[in-house]
Amino acid sequence: MPFVYFDYTYIVLIPAIILALYAQIKLSSTYNKYSKIGNSRGLTGADVARMILDANGLWDVKIQHISGKLTDNYNPQTNVVSLSDSTYSSTSVAALGVAAHECGHAVQHATGYLPIKIRSALVAITPLGTKAGFILILIGLIFSTPNLALIGLALYSLIAVFQFVTLPVEFNASNRALETLRIDNILDDDELPYAKKVLSAAAMTYVAALVSSIAEIFRLLLIINNSRRRN
């Protein structure tokens, strides 16, 4: 019988994988449910985005239509709020929540919200750090130099730092969105909870991403420690 090696460290990833799958399913089902409920004022996602931006003095921020579903984003470099097919022309409460959320990011940048400043600073160094870190981990394991692997792990952990900083950015954008939708009477009182459920489901995906990264970092630490013990 051939020898089959089982890497037990993969076990630590199972809870994170389950959470990530749950978060994606929850977001998809929640969005699909509330994308079928229109708002009483008949406003589209693009209408609401323009209203919110103008109300905050962000007349220079442009709105563009992009393809896809839930591909909405705000790019501070181009100063453009991009709304997807499922948001731009839709009058659903889900679409309005998403549009308001992206405008929340534009307001964060305009007002100098600290977490988004930190996140922007990490955008450039995180990909380089994680790539360099993974290479150092491999070299450290191949040549039995655990200390080098640990240095690599520290660099690789930048991805978790980035995702940790992303959480307050996303939660704050959602809170801004819901507050604006309420104060400006864009959504009725009975419609607001629907938008909140959509944004809460979206936020869960960011939590799942952070948990997945932490689980992977812990797994790599176990591998490095095993290598140290063998040596």
Q: To the nearest 10°, report the CA torsion of 139, 143, 148, 150.
A: 80
168 contacts: CB under 8 Å, gap ≥ 6: 115
Q: How far is the CA of 214 from the CAs of 143, 145, 204, in angstroms?
A: 25, 23, 15
Yes or no: say if 181 and 168 are a contact pair by the CB < 8 Å rule. no
State the catalytic residue, choosing from 102, 170, 191, 216: 102
Residues 9, 14, 19, 25: what is their CA dihedral angle, to the nearest 10 degrees?
Answer: 130
Name the nearest CA neighbour of 209 among 124, 126, 114, 152: 126
Query: Active-site residue 191, yes or no?
Result: no
Question: What is the set of active-site residues?
Answer: 102
